[in-house]
A and B are shown apart, each in its own frame.
Chain A
Amino acid sequence: RKEVEQDPGPFNVPEGATVAFNCTYSNSASQSFFWYRQDCRKEPKLLMSVYSSGNEDGRFTAQLNRASQYISLLIRDSKLSDSATYLCVVNIGGYQKVTFGTGTKLQVIP
């Protein structure tokens, strides 16, 4: 089993739709979690950290489920500019062992 798994997509959604991505991780010792956004051939950029209590930033909501070992990202009212690949990142801490998922591609359609 991969350490971090994501559905590669693509997810093709119309503007204004709500879309959710999940990411599962295998190491129960994982301590911190992030979502990154990557536009084609560019560097990944931090979208948001994921906290145990869940967190929201505008149209974006991130959740963590430690019992089932997954994190999720919900995007409401999708915009064309949300089209990108979303990377799930898991850190088991200590020695800064960070693992990236392969990403989920989102295409928002007019």
Chain B
Amino acid sequence: EAQVTQNPRYLITVTGKKLTVTCSQNMNHEYMSWYRQDPGLGLRQIYYSMNVEVTDKGDVPEGYKVSRKEKRNFPLILESPSPNQTSLYFCASTRTGDTYGYTFGSGTRLTVV
């Protein structure tokens, strides 16, 4: 089954404790992206990647890191999480080309206390 897999689904952590949210896709998509979704603000792009070893900042990259060492994986790293990073996170992928929509992962609900 074609899918984007995110882990974990739920995570509660403390301020300053490094964490990684994993994202993997099995569709051989070149393009992957991370979003956060907050009430009233919609989905905002954190980072995106056009292909292996090619990443770029989205609209809200502060406090986040990403890497793209393999085509299928695009982990999101929070080196020192803070409470304002409490949010619902989505990973998404698509083939490059303008007419294809995204496939989203099921989301990671992160709470930083």
Residues on A facing B (Cβ under 8 Å): 31-32, 34, 36, 41-46, 49, 87, 89, 91, 93, 95-96, 98, 100-103
Contact = CB atoms under 8 A, between A and B. Distances in A.
Given A34-B101, A42-B107, A87-B43, 20 more contacts: A31-B98, A32-B98, A32-B99, A41-B107, A43-B105, A43-B106, A44-B104, A49-B99, A87-B42, A89-B101, A95-B56, A96-B31, A96-B48, A96-B94, A98-B33, A98-B45, A100-B43, A101-B42, A102-B41, A102-B42
A100 B104 CA distance: 13
Contact of B42 (A32, A95, A100): A100
Interface in B99-113: 99, 101-107, 109
Given A42-B106, A89-B101, A96 B50 contact: yes
14 contacts: A36-B101, A43-B104, A44-B43, A44-B90, A44-B102, A46-B101, A46-B102, A49-B99, A49-B101, A91-B98, A96-B94, A100-B42, A101-B42, A102-B42
Contacts of A36: 101
Contacts of A44: 43, 90, 102, 104
Nearest to B49: A96
Contacts of A45: 104
Contacts of B35: 100
Contacts of B44: 100
Among the interface residues B98, B107, B109, which one has the most CB atoms of the partner chain A within 10 A? B98
A100 B102 CA distance: 12
A98 B56 CA distance: 13
B75 to A, nearest CB: 18
